[in-house]
Amino acid sequence: MLSLKLFVADNTNWLSMPDKMQAIKEWFAPVVDLEIELFDTFFDDVPFEEYAPFQYGVERKWYEERVVPIAKAERADICLFALDKEDWKGKGADGWRSSTTTPVMLQAGCGENDHIYLPYNGGDYGEMFFMIARHEILHALFLYTGQVDITHIYPHDLDHVRDSLRFERYSLMRKVRDLMRKLLTLLSRQNKL
């Protein structure tokens, strides 16, 4: 099974974040092994910019200069910048995929205990951070597979979206890199003993 490293720059200060990320890891487990690295960040006054008319996300240049270098140092494939709703100024959107480069830059903002309520779904659709994070991670995974991204075609059936991911076209070089990463991890653990 394919293994990818998800670096979470956690600017939320939520005690529940490890549990939230474990739920994400378990949800993706049928198709990809997400190695999740949580890293607490303490950024004040995160700047936002308009991504689409009346929709805002974290300023790309700021994200690239302050968050991405940490993710690159951790050899991450995907970087998720998590913000509490007090810091989220993303008006009109709760999350974004803001790059197509490695690491793929994602962002999500909401309250720790927020839920999504949909009147046509009988009410509570689920825990908001879980819903936003997996939605954005799916966008990143479609970049890796080279498939057409169907996340917005089936927004209320993300199990189907996840199960449609096919990593067969994932390049041989990436597979070699994954094996090398595992070997280096094992060697570094052996040196620490």
- SS3 (DSSP) at 118: strand
**Res. 171 pLDDT band, cuts 50 70 90:** low
What pLDDT score was predicted for residue 188? 82
Q: Are 139 and 151 in contact (CB under 8 A)?
A: yes
Angle between helix 17-28 and helix 128-145 axes, rounded to 10 deg: 40
Q: What are the strands, taking DSSP E only, across the chain? A: 3-10, 33-40, 48-52, 55-58, 78-84, 95-97, 104-110, 115-118, 123-127
Residue of higher predicted confidence among 116 and 33: 33
Domains of the chain, start order: 3-168 (3.40.50)
Of 169, 131, 129, nearest in space to 147 by CA: 169
Q: What is the pLDDT of residues 177-188, one digit of tens each?
A: 778 888 888 888
pTM confidence score: 0.84
Q: What is the pLDDT of residues 93-110, one digit of tens each?
A: 688 887 767 788 999 999
Q: What is the DSSP string of 32-50?
A: -EEEEEEEE---SS--EEE
Separation CA 7–CA 183 (nearest Å): 19
